[in-house]
A and B are shown apart, each in its own frame.
Chain A
Amino acid sequence: MRTIDKLLTDSPTFAGLLAAQLEFIAGCGRNEHVPAGTMLMREAEPAERFWLIRRGIVALELYVPGREPLVIETLEPGDVVGWSWLFPPYRWAVDGRTQGDCHLIAFDGVCLREKCESDHDLGYELMRRFAADIVGRLQATRLQLADVHGNVPTTA
């Protein structure tokens, strides 16, 4: 069975980190098997953990009063779920639900954040990688917002 530090290298977010850095991050994590339909996080609640998906899909949802929850994005194996533990006020911005049974690595975000405060090399590396993830998903969100599949007025 592969250890968590080895599993981390499968994710684009963590691949390329130094062995000692991977070992420390792995020390903050543990394997979890999460059944389908589990709410990993709810909007506005404290963000103290984050997850790496090994298997399964996690749906990010928005609660809109009077409507069913709106799924705005699904995350896949290799994706990191949750950034809010990194940035004040450390509260979740969306809901997150396992779409099927999932195998996740759950990380203690508070512990890791405190380590980044003292180990700036690790902090820089994690910030750089999470920033790349955020930029990629921001670009995807912009394309969603453009509603390119919607109708454009035409005489055709």
Chain B
Amino acid sequence: MFQAFNRIAAIATKELIHMVRDRMTFVSLLSVTIGYVIVFGYAINPDPRHIPTIVVDHDKSEFSRLYKAALQQSVYLEIDQRQLTSDQASEMLRKAQTSVVVEIPPDFTRNLLRGLPAQILVEADATDPVSLNGAITSTGEVARQTVAHLLRKDGIEATFTGEPKLEVRVQRRFNPQGEQTFFIIPGLVGMILNVSLLVMTAMSITKEKEQGSMEFLLVTPTEPWEMIVGKIIPTFLVGVVQVSIILAIAFLLFKLPLTGDPLALIALLLAYGITTLSVGILISSAAMSQMQAMQLSFFYFLPSILLSGFMFPYSGMPKWAQIISQGLPLTYFVRGSRGVFLKEFTLVDMWPHLWPIMLAGLVFGLLAVKSYRRTLN
């Protein structure tokens, strides 16, 4: 028994020495762990506040002014101060430039005072069906309080025989049934591509280094870009197969609609796929072993999963986390993908989400070619 303990201790000690001596892995593991815990601890909030909201006021009454002012006080909402039309607001909702649109019809106050049903229309971007619940509830709650306050203040309350007939009609747009799968799957396509393409590419060049075959390849007339493209093509084909499988399952099993232009989806998938492959090549150029490549890939995944809006709402993040999020290609993919599946995105609608991904791909691609070592030094 004592000898077994000695052997276990010897193995554990040896493993610890390996870890500590692999400086890059050890230091990055510790620093990234600490950094990530702090960053994600602050950044992730599944019940977001300050949801971008537009109030379209056709009533222009004391109620609508008070209501807007009261909404502004709600922690759940961030009211856009611009005067926008219904169409403008609706388009902004479609393009994910706002999340909630509150519309007060022209006859709201008149109907209210006459004891007729007075409606407030709340349109919410239901591509993320859960995270806007607080904001939606808040619009109704604030409306009821404002009406009560107004009636009390003007002494009209006594003239009512019953309750004021306030109706808050909530329209969950783009995902009326509030299907959680419709929220997850468009982002999941990007996430799966992220994991598989990145790891496969990152491993492929480091494998050559570890096997020792890189030394031979460097003596052949093979140029860095030839090597990189040659490495990317098979992985890209694997990505195509994967996407086909994911889409088949999404359409057939989960009944996910494709409301937008299929070309916009293809453009998004291509741009995102190529960018992910470039990141993979960059990682494999930097890493000296497959283990390091794996770790660097993981460090890239984690912020992508947590800060891209794939799992946790973008609007729930503090400003600084939103800035980080805007540096991640998956953020744009998730928005573009949800747009094309659920919000009738055309190629033109897709462009604002497409070019940042393409730019990232270009930057990562150039860095990968530049950092690819032509010598063993």
The judgment on whether A and B are partners is no
